[in-house]
Amino acid sequence: MNDGPERYCRQVEAYLCRKNDGHLIRIVGPAFEQVCGWAAQGVPLNVAYRGIDRYFERYYAKGPRRRPVRIEFCEADVLDVFDEWRRAVGLVGQGEQREQGERSAARPSLPAHLERVIARLTAMRGDCGPALAAIVDDIARELDAARAGAKTLRGEGRRACLERLRTLDSTLLEAVRGGCDPETLHSLAAAADLELAPFRTRLPPDAYGRSRQACLDRLLRERARLPVIAFE
């Protein structure tokens, strides 16, 4: 990844410097070994950056900063974001998913999820072209209708609803993909290959192909700021 752990550490160091408003905190000694450990685990740089961002968001929320942040403080957030990324691209086994799920905070209810998705769709509609806007409108209307009875859904009715949400999620993603120019798609594919580079030789070809597609979907979703309609 990025020409070895030394370069990886220097890039993390440069990012941390920018987050610290230009104050340089060198990554040396135990901190260097710590960040090299992230590289060895296959933590993509942009995932490490998002973990650092998450720590800084909490730090700023506590009030004015008193001292520069050291990279050691960010490790828990970096590894949390890495776990989320691995689940998103299918690199976590089922048993591990259950264990992590037990540690995670309670997820929102189905009605609350639908309400948030509808709000996100409404917000993104203004930036859509006519064709995509029509699809967004159709999905939002269907979700609004489903929200009314979502609280009481049980058994087969709930399973059918969740399957429909997965279908709508795929429909929206494919509509956005279809509106992308070849250059954008090529750029996203290159970004996915870069993120998954540490795992290229660790995974069987079919597993790597699934992870790559999941990574592409996630990058496309982030670029278009799409909500996740599916509810698992």
172-203 tens-digit pLDDT: 999 999 999 999 999 999 999 988 888 888 88
Residues 6+ apart with CB under 8 A from 40: 5
DSSP letter string, 57-107: HHHHHTSS--SPPPGGGGHHHHHHHHHHHHHHTT-S-HHHHHHHHHHSPPP
84-124 tens-digit pLDDT: 888 888 886 534 443 444 444 456 789 999 998 999 898 88
Residue 97's identity, in one-letter code, is Q
Integer Cα distance of 6 and 213 in angstroms: 29
pLDDT at position 18 is: 92
